[in-house]
Amino acid sequence: MGGSLPYGCFCAVPARPGEDAPGDPFGGSGRMGPVSAPAPAGPFAALPPQVDLPAMEKQILQRWEADKVFARSLEASAGKPQWVFYEGPPTANGRPGTHHIEARAFKDVFPRFKTMQGWHVPRRAGWDCHGLPVEIAVEQELGFAGKPDIERYGIAEFNARCRESVERHVDSFAELTRRMGYWVDMSTAYWTMDPAYIESVWWSLKQIFDKGLLVEDHRVAPYCPRCGTGLSDHEVAQGYETLTDPSVYVRLPVTSGEWAGKADLLIWTTTPWTLPSNTAVAVHPDVTYVVARTDAGTFVVAEPLVTAVLGEDVEILARTSGRDWERVHYQRPFELVEFPEGDAHYVVLADYVTTDDGTGLVHQSPAFGAEDLAVCRGYGLPVVNPIDPTGHFLPELPLVGGHFFKAADAALVEDLQSRGVLFRELRYEHSYPHCWRCHTPLMYYAQPSWYIRTSAIKDRLLAENEKTHWHPENIQWGRYGDWLNNNVDWALSRDRYWGTPLPIWRNDADPSKLIAVGSLAELSELTGRDLAGLDPHRPFIDDVTFTRPGEEGTYRRVRQVIDAWYDSGSMPFAQWGAPHRNKEKFEASYPAQFICEAIDQTRGWFYTLMAVGTLVFDESSYENVLCLGHILAEDGRKMSKHLGNILEPIPLMDRHGADAVRWFMLAGGSPWSARRVGHETLSEVVRKVLLTYWNTASFFTLYADTNGWDPASTPAPARAERPLLDRWALATLAAVTEDVTTALEDFDTQGAGRLLAGFVDDLSNWYVRRSRRRFWDGDPAALATLHEVLDGLTRLMAPFTPFVTDEVWTRAVLPGLGGDAPDSVHLASWPAVDEDARDDELVAQVTLVRRLVELGRSARTSAKVRTRQPLARAVVAAPGWASLPAELIAEVADELNVLDMAELSGADGALVDVSLKVDFRAVGRRLGKQVQAVAKAVAAADAAELTAAYRAGTATVQVDGAPVPLEDGDLIVTETPREGWTVASGGGLTVALDLALTPELERAGLVREVVRLIQEARKSSGLEVSDRIELWWTAEDEQIRRALTEHESQLAAEVLATAVHPDSEGPDPRSATVPEALGGRAARVDGLPGLRMSIARTGGSLAGR
């Protein structure tokens, strides 16, 4: 090669096709050099590098609908094994929020994944229609204050409004569902208000009734006075709010026995409104109580609480067990309420009394406490209730008549105070149950209710839970297991209107005679009328009565409707109308393989689904359950109107794209924990993942198009014959395919997302960047490799980001596949792991290469030598270097722009410092606690000597006077050159660069600088990548002149110059002299001192571009 200089990658690149015989581009005549012929048209059209993702998504939505892609994906899998998914119906009340996208993204991604894997995954939407939330919304619309308003308005009309409200809200859910690309069949959606659905629910209730598990009972239960209905425990569970109540200590003078007139019982309560109905005071039989004298009086309190309640300054007058106080009478706190004839207001014994707080004496008001009721019943005490079902004190009461129960506290406390029976009042902050819908504080209130005896099947529920796969696992025996273990009977009935009517008819002559009805057909039989067309809702069903031959009395329906949670828990069979209809379909799809909701459903749908399934079929209805954390606003708080931090879902998707929002939900942070969603986070997803992926596809199509590449006519070399980088990309794809599949099988979208994002980054920023020149050249191996990788990657990403992947599929993948390939990625199969492509060694080697490149760049930075300046050589110390293929070593040299690479350990020992460190993992595993002594000995040893011995395999260190041999892998050797080099090392690797510059190297660097300037000018003046140019230059600096002259052919090749005109000013782009023939495009290029250049497009040389 004579005196010519090597240039690293710069000149190592072969000339482009058509330019390997450049003729005489230096003639100064300006005549055009040869150019390549226009490429034949291939099947690919270039995708634009810029893309408006939300706009693209809308087009794709239209295409999916026009081409019926979802329906075809179901048809295509018909007859294959079923993977059953149950849609938990959203309550069709209120508009959907951004958090609804979360669960719906998960409900979409796994069915898509399983479908691609070859399962048949029917997906049927559902809407939860009944319940208090709907009633409340309608009440608000109508300006109602409570049940009397509804009764006046008419139940039929009211329920019609409820139905209309549900239909209205379903539309907005449907819109969200469509926009986010959640594939679920809404045309066959189940509605819990449909008569067929209700009949199924009835059927199941009849099964439960027949088993004796559906019973009426009078119990104290949480009750919302505003809504006028009892709440089930899982409803109460949703409504705790913190509030501050008065907490009062009240003195009740003893009126019988030894201490009559001499001491006061001291009680403590946070519900002063229950004091007017005080009926008794409970003490624990086995706790010691004392009579204690203080300045304020003489009191009876539990001994462990004396100091806490009365202070240090007390005199104990007596000490006795709680048992001894039984039936001692006292003066009740208020005389407001009439008590029936008979004994009351004395001390009773109860085991549930504790000495954790209060006084150890517990005020009893049986109408308002479940335990109070049980205890007082035991003594035959009356149940006195001065509060009406709307939560107000009866109007005729003095002092508090007509007051709302909680609002009466102040007046009652004041009255106690004025009479001197208030011992102490404190503000007490605690969480208190509120109505989860209207936020009214609940009362515990004695009322008749229908219950399902779930506590009777608790063991069965625990056993079913044992079989269930929970994600995350800790829910199973944590939050959910606790709930099951503390199971109480399901308070099923509601004294409301818009709900599934409880299908029980009672004989009005003998209330013990009950009939449960399982269908309209049964009801028709009982009444002798055809009721098949009856709307089973109230009030129509209430009018249906019947008599039975030989029985007195008429059967009338009990008035209650049921908890809407029971409706949704019945969906496995009720969605089919089973067993009255579609019995086989139901049986074929029970239980479900997969359900998913947010964590608030633990005691909601997750429970009711399992409970109904176990009650009716003795088997839970789901196998795998995903339990998601909540989505929070950017400020880390719940989104709420009140805080003004709401992100509306549709505008959010219209701004960033549904794919971005989906990706965030699936892979941004752990799905199990609460996550903050915001614009910043989403635009990062767009930039880092979606656009990088898109641009890789766009890059591919650009060169597939430019080169007219057609895999059918341009066979690529066999994979094993392709360049290492191609094989690396394919090997990485194979590994990623396997790992992503494993992650999704385990419902781990976060892990899968991390793998995919990492691969997208590797592909774009290593494979494509390193391979660009081969794409410019239309190398079939490179094009085929990238096409194959995009194919696999697009399939892997399709369940996550269904929009952009389908666009890439149809435009960058499909044109290169055979004729029978599906026209949507969502009809394609899940990729199999290409075992032949697997090459873990190569993957590890490329990882090493990239580490070395990083270190080399770091070394350049610290020496302030820019990358465009070629350097003579780099030396490397790295385990595994020796076995690195020359092709990969060339990669490092190219990236670092060095002409030569050598191994440091081969260098002269005098130039190198060595340091040694023990690999603790290796040595620790073998030698255990000796490892520290070995490390010390290694540090103390002469590093050079020990290294030599270590490399020879004979290294030994002395520990406690005994020799310990070191094995291969025990030490990490770090070598560092001493002088005249710039060095970077880390993780046992070292890269050193020779900084000595020769004039030749400097000139090579200058040329590269010039190339960059021209490329920038090409880009900024709007030239296409394949446009050819002419170049004019003048330079004052001798080095630059010489550099440009010396390297003219390389320069011309790099910038696609068909002609170079030294010492010539060229056309002035600002003047009118730029010939039309040059396409009107010309640009000045300024940069290096004293160098002036102009470029202009070579006229008429290329068709089209």
CA dihedral angle for residue 268, residue 273, residue 274, residue 275, rounded to 10 degrees: 60
- Contact window for RNA (CB under 7 A) among 531-539, 689-697, 816-824, 1070-1078: 689-697
Question: Of 58, 513, 638, 688, which one is the catalytic site residue?
Answer: 638
User: Which residues are bridge partners to 191 per DSSP?
Assistant: 127
CB of 47: closest distance to RNA in angstroms?
9
> Both tokens of residue 325?
């106080």
Closest CA to 854 of 739, 982, 984: 984
CB of 678: closest distance to RNA in angstroms?
9
Is 89 annotated in the active site?
yes
**Footprint of RNA on residues 860-889 (CB under 7 A)?**
860-862, 864, 866-868
Residue 654 CB neighbour total at 10 angstroms? 15
CB of 379: closest distance to RNA in angstroms?
22
Residue 754 CB neighbour total at 10 angstroms? 15
Choice from 390, 858, 956, 1064 touching RNA (CB under 7 A): 858
The dihedrals phi and psi of 957, each to the nearest 5 degrees, come to: -120, 155
**Footprint of RNA on residues 801-840 (CB under 7 A)?**
none
Closest CA to 629 of 669, 656, 659, 594: 669
The dihedrals phi and psi of 428, each to the nearest 5 degrees, come to: -130, 115
**Is residue 676 a contact point for RNA (CB under 7 A)?**
yes
CB nearer to RNA: pick between 301 and 934: 934
Choice from 4, 640, 673, 1020 touching RNA (CB under 7 A): 673
**In this structure, is the dihedral angle defined by the CA atoms of residues 678, 175, 127 and 471, taken in order, positive or negative?**
negative
CA dihedral angle for residue 519, residue 525, residue 526, residue 530, rounded to 10 degrees: 80
CB of 149: closest distance to RNA in angstroms?
30
User: Which residues are bridge partners to 308 per DSSP?
Assistant: none
**Is residue 1011 a contact point for RNA (CB under 7 A)?**
yes
Report DSSP letters for 1023-1049, one per residue: --TT--EEEEEEE--HHHHHHHHHTHH
**Is residue 240 a contact point for RNA (CB under 7 A)?**
yes
Say if strands 288-294 and 315-321 run parallel, antiparallel, or are unpaired.
Answer: antiparallel
Interface with RNA (CB under 7 A), residue total: 91
Is 601 annotated in the active site?
yes
> Both tokens of residue 789?
């990788």
Choice from 40, 478, 511, 1090 touching RNA (CB under 7 A): 478
**Footprint of RNA on residues 921-950 (CB under 7 A)?**
921, 924-925, 928-929, 931-932
Report DSSP letters for 520-541, one per residue: HHHHHHHHTS--TT---STTGG
- Contact window for RNA (CB under 7 A) among 103-111, 181-189, 470-478, 1042-1050: 470-478
Q: Where are the alpha helices (DSSP H) in 577-691?
A: 583-588, 605-617, 649-656, 658-667, 679-685
CB of 860: closest distance to RNA in angstroms?
7
d(CA 650, CA 702): 33
d(CA 549, CA 725): 89
Choice from 358, 433, 501, 649 touching RNA (CB under 7 A): 433
**Is residue 1004 a contact point for RNA (CB under 7 A)?**
no
DSSP letter (8 states) at residue 346 = B
CB of 499: closest distance to RNA in angstroms?
21
Cβ–Cβ < 8 Å for 775, 782: yes
Is 128 annotated in the active site?
yes
**Is residue 986 a contact point for RNA (CB under 7 A)?**
yes
**Is residue 49 a contact point for RNA (CB under 7 A)?**
yes
Is 447 annotated in the active site?
no
The dihedrals phi and psi of 287, each to the nearest 5 degrees, come to: -90, 145
Host H or E run for residue 958: strand 956-959
Choice from 2, 50, 143, 715 touching RNA (CB under 7 A): 50
**Is residue 680 a contact point for RNA (CB under 7 A)?**
yes
**Footprint of RNA on residues 334-353 (CB under 7 A)?**
none
Q: What is the strand order of the sheet 280-283 is part of?
A: 347-349, 280-283, 362-364
Question: Of 128, 264, 372, 659, which one is the catalytic site residue?
Answer: 128
**Is residue 440 a contact point for RNA (CB under 7 A)?**
no
CB of 835: closest distance to RNA in angstroms?
23
Cβ–Cβ < 8 Å for 265, 254: yes
Choice from 985, 1050, 1058, 1094 touching RNA (CB under 7 A): 985
CB nearer to RNA: pick between 877 and 1055: 1055
Cβ–Cβ < 8 Å for 1066, 988: no
- Contact window for RNA (CB under 7 A) among 174-182, 228-236, 273-281, 360-368: 228-236
**Footprint of RNA on residues 1051-1070 (CB under 7 A)?**
1054-1056
d(CA 895, CA 880): 19
CB of 477: closest distance to RNA in angstroms?
8
d(CA 641, CA 639): 7
Host H or E run for residue 219: strand 214-224
- Contact window for RNA (CB under 7 A) among 59-67, 498-506, 915-923, 1087-1095: 915-923
CB nearer to RNA: pick between 168 and 687: 687
CB of 62: closest distance to RNA in angstroms?
21
Interface characters, 741-760, with RNA (x: CB under 7 A): -------------x------
Question: Of 505, 565, 709, 881, which one is the catalytic site residue?
Answer: 565
**Is residue 638 a contact point for RNA (CB under 7 A)?**
yes
- Contact window for RNA (CB under 7 A) among 322-330, 409-417, 482-490, 1090-1098: 482-490
Is 936 annotated in the active site?
no
Question: Of 50, 81, 313, 641, which one is the catalytic site residue?
Answer: 641
Closest CA to 718 of 780, 794, 772, 786: 780
Question: Of 490, 505, 605, 981, which one is the catalytic site residue?
Answer: 605
In a 13 Å sphere around the CA of 283, the CA atoms on its Cβ side amount to 26
**Footprint of RNA on residues 198-217 (CB under 7 A)?**
none
- Contact window for RNA (CB under 7 A) among 556-564, 940-948, 1015-1023, 1067-1075: 1015-1023
**Footprint of RNA on residues 282-341 (CB under 7 A)?**
none
Cβ–Cβ < 8 Å for 390, 225: yes
**Footprint of RNA on residues 7-26 (CB under 7 A)?**
16
Residues with catalytic function? 89, 128, 565, 601, 605, 638, 641
